[in-house]
């Protein structure tokens, strides 16, 4: 199967598994996932699995990327903060569905590489930072959506404070064996928390996340 037909097969799989947002499915269908990974694993680009991207990190499973993006319910007008740039793939999906993406990565090498790939694909609505994303990025906030692509031990307070009223945050919380993907909505009466599903992510390392060394492995 060539890359184009395997990309179409992935869309069929995502629909079958319950992804219903046409906009999210179209963004995934438009995005060359193979460009965001090392050549050695490109033959698996359209398998519905996480893959290694170097520096001990991963590009997330397409189903999880789709589910997290769908949960933000983007209309095209939002400013979205992503924590964990990684390969840049999730940022590419978000950038097609909202006004502006601010993405933070703690590993400079990954951030640089993601920016090169995204620039070469023509994305011009993404701002990149190398920093501890558990603290968010208040200078560019508040955000209508926050998407965290690594698991935190508990909800980082700084991120909650940078969410607009009505804003939505998707974040995996928990430890090595029990991680739950949560949707947090900020309303007038505070934060509402809904569980989406069980997940397995790399750890969110930082001041309001895990200490380097004590964190759960993936």
Query: Site residues (CB under 6 A) for ligand SAM?
Result: 57-60, 83-84, 86-87, 89-90, 104-107, 110, 132-134, 149-150, 201-202, 204-206, 209
Q: Which of 63, 74, 79 is nearest to 23 (CA)?
A: 74
Which amino acids are annotated catalytic?
60
- Nearest approach, Cβ of 90 to ligand SAM (angstroms)? 3
- Nearest approach, Cβ of 143 to ligand SAM (angstroms)? 15
Q: Which residues pair with 143 in a beta bridge?
A: 163
Tokens linked to 156: 């980082």
- Nearest approach, Cβ of 98 to ligand SAM (angstroms)? 15
Please give the Cα distance from 40 to 16 (Å, whole number): 29
Compare residues 84 and 174 and give the one whose CB is closer to ligand SAM: 84
- Nearest approach, Cβ of 185 to ligand SAM (angstroms)? 21
Compare residues 52 and 142 and give the one whose CB is closer to ligand SAM: 52
Q: How far is CA 200 from CA 46, 140, 176, 192, in A?
A: 19, 29, 8, 23
């Amino acid at each position: 199967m060539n890359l184009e037909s395997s990309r179409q097969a992935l869309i069929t799989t995502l629909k079958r598994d319950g992804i219903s947002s046409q906009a999210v499915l179209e963004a995934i269908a438009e995005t060359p996932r193979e460009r965001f990974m090392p050549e050695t694993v490109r033959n698996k680009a359209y398998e519905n699995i996480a893959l290694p991207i170097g520096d001990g990190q991963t590009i997330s499973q397409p189903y999880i990327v789709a589910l997290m993006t769908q949960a933000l319910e983007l209309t095209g007008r939002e400013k979205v903060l992503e924590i964990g740039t990684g390969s840049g793939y999730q940022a590419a999906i978000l950038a097609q569905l909202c006004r502006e993406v601010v993405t933070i990565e703690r590993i400079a090498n990954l951030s640089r590489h993601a920016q090169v790939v995204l620039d070469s694909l023509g994305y011009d609505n993404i701002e990149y930072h190398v920093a501890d994303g558990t603290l968010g990025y208040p200078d560019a906030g508040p955000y209508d959506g926050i998407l965290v692509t690594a698991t935190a031990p508990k909800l980082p307070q700084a991120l909650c404070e940078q969410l607009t009223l009505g804003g939505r945050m998707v974040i995996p919380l928990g430890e090595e064996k029990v991680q739950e993907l949560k949707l947090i909505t900020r309303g007038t009466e505070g934060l509402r928390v809904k569980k989406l599903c069980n997940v397995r992510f790399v750890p969110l390392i930082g001041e309001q996340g895990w200490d380097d060394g004590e964190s759960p492995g993936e």
